[in-house]
Structure 1
Amino acid sequence: MSDLSTDNLFTAAARCLTETDPERKRTLAQQLATNWQAGRLSADAERAEPVTQSAGLPARLALVPPRQLVARKLSSRDGRAAMIHAVAHIEFNAINLACDAVQRFRDLPPAFYSDWIRVAAEEAEHFGLMGERLRDLGYDYGDFPAHNGLWEMAQRTAHDPLTRMALVPRVLEARGLDVTPGMIERFQAADDSETAARLGIILRDEVGHVAAGSRWLRTLCQERGLEPSSHFFRLLDDYMTGDIRGPLNLTDRRRAGFDAEELERLERLCQR
């Protein structure tokens, strides 16, 4: 029997979401994908446990406001480990975000669940890559403080899958497309080609994750009779007061489903 001990998709996703042990969460995310692909999970909302509002994090992880996080130079082992830990934390939270999208939004097509189950499994792989690198340097997940901005946005968008698709994959996760190439260069300059290579894997996969957000933004807008780009920028203004940081990674954002008009408008917001 699967360790998930359930044949219900929503319950299985919720169990992965609420798991606090990092290695256990990785295993549950991978099993979720395996069982869904094998047809062993039913998307029967009536038989599922209620939607959970909480996400599992290790008890030893200290969460602080972003302004309390100290920037460190990559010239030291501690500095490299702190940066790797920050990426690991993003990937851990990304498992939670993908599982939450599955367990929370229960009236969507099977393709929606296939996309976000795949994303959860890939984020688990990314967390494993960064966690392993942390241990190579003598550290582990939870050895540095972190902030909870990704999950806070998940809570703010919990009422609506369209709003979630617009603001989590296409804003917060898309920011990773912008900053990761620079991180890769910095690790290469610090003679840490191993970490740089692992970040390259994450960047490659994250293009597909943001693209899934773009796809479902447009699908859900079409169902509601909304123009996708206009609605995206309306949500951006409502939730983030149009606050976008640059520079933008235009090449990968195009691959992730941003059209030319959207990129032009985003660049204007960056300049503002």
Structure 2
Amino acid sequence: MELREFAETVLLQPDLDLKISVGDGDWTDESPGVALRVPEPMRSASLQFALPRAAPAMPKFGGLHEPERRAIAHHIMANHELQALEAMAWTLLAFPDAPQEFRIGMADIMRDEQRHTRMHAERAAKLGVEFGSLPVNCYIWKKVQEFQSVLDYVAGLPLVFEGANLDHTLEFAQAFSDVGDERSAALMRVIHRDEIEHVRFGWAWMNRLAEENEQIWDVWMKHLHWPLRPLKAKGEQFQREARLAAGMSEEFVDQLENFRSEDE
């Protein structure tokens, strides 16, 4: 499938089933077209972005013994995955001159985002909440609108949002397991393994696109758009080995692990 067609379908077609299933077969990138910055993805009425603070907050771990609270958590995470998918489609359209290897690699990751959306939506429904029955936020999408280069993208989405998910996925896996929901815990561990590869992709491309002799930490910091910052790239329980497995250098992982708010 041609990447331009794939990205346009994900962004400009409102049907959820189509968004999270389109893209079978091999990729081609023969007609990347002109740069296009889509202001908002087309979505069905039930998945339109809500006003700030209208969407439910992520349930606290202490309340996850209730199936409905676990369902809400999966509903929120399904929207996170859908936003990531749409953000990657936006990037394909916004930066048609990006290296073809980068574009095809990101399209492969988008298939994971489609699968993750399905997994969370199906689990939420199993627990009693249909995807789209609750308001959804647009935080990830709004941050992507500020990206002005491919380096901005890899600094922000793979190395902040997906980087933090190296921690969050295992935190949720443990929380679900603690209340006896091993299906939800297993789902989070699957996504954790995928996130390692997604972070590896972002790390590799940051290194490839950086100027010669630039320190990667400095490159990363230069391409972060507030409020994205190192503290947003980690959770409560820092998964050092996962970051090393993603290819990050010991020095970079040390800086991230030891970063504190006063360093900003």
Aligned position for 1:52: 38
* Residues in 1 aligned to 2:92 and 2:213: alpha-carbon distance in whole angstroms: 24
Aligned position for 2:219: 231
Aligned position for 1:265: 255
* Residues in 2 aligned to 1:238 and 1:64: alpha-carbon distance in whole angstroms: 21
CA distance 1:54–1:64, shift in 2 (3 Å): closer
Tell whether 2:168 aligns with 1:179: yes
Quote the offset at 1:101 in angstroms. Answer: 2.2
> Does the CA-based 8 Å contact 1:14-1:51 persist in structure 2?
no
- Structure 1 unaligned blocks of 5 or more: 1-6
Equivalences for residues 128-207 of structure 1 within 5 A: 128-157=118-147, 159-207=148-196
> Higher mean Cα deviation, 88-97 or 15-24?
15-24
Tell whether 2:1 aligns with 1:12: no
Aligned position for 2:106: 116
Q: Secondary structure at the match of 1:45?
A: coil
Identity of counterpart residues, as a percentage? Answer: 23
* Residues in 2 aligned to 1:185 and 1:108: alpha-carbon distance in whole angstroms: 39
Count of residues in correspondence between the two structures: 256
CA distance 1:66–1:265, shift in 2 (3 Å): farther
Quote the offset at 1:199 in angstroms. Answer: 1.2
> Does the CA-based 8 Å contact 2:52-2:137 persist in structure 1?
yes
CA distance 1:43–1:262, shift in 2 (3 Å): same
> Does the CA-based 8 Å contact 1:45-1:106 persist in structure 2?
yes
Q: Secondary structure at the match of 1:60?
A: helix
CA-to-partner distance for each residue in 1:43-94, whole Å, 9 max, x for gaps?
3234x68453332333213524359633431111110101111111111111
> Does the CA-based 8 Å contact 1:180-1:203 persist in structure 2?
yes
> Does the CA-based 8 Å contact 1:11-1:103 persist in structure 2?
no
CA distance 1:192–1:163, shift in 2 (3 Å): same
Which of these residues, 73, 79, 84, is aligned with residue 83 of structure 1?
Answer: 73
Aligned position for 2:92: 102
Tell whether 2:52 aligns with 1:65: yes
Q: What amino acid is the match of 2:13?
A: E
Quote the offset at 1:140 in angstroms. Answer: 1.3
Aligned position for 1:219: 208
Quote the offset at 1:198 in angstroms. Answer: 1.2
* Residues in 1 aligned to 2:35 and 2:157: alpha-carbon distance in whole angstroms: 25
TM norm structure 2:
0.86
TM norm structure 1:
0.84
Equivalences for residues 241-256 of structure 1 within 5 A: 243-244=231-232, 245-247=234-236, 248-256=238-246
Which structure is richer in relative contact order (CA contacts within 8 A, separation 6 or more)? Answer: 2
Runs of 4+ in structure 1 off by over 6 angstroms are none
* Residues in 1 aligned to 2:196 and 2:220: alpha-carbon distance in whole angstroms: 18
CA distance 1:70–1:240, shift in 2 (3 Å): closer
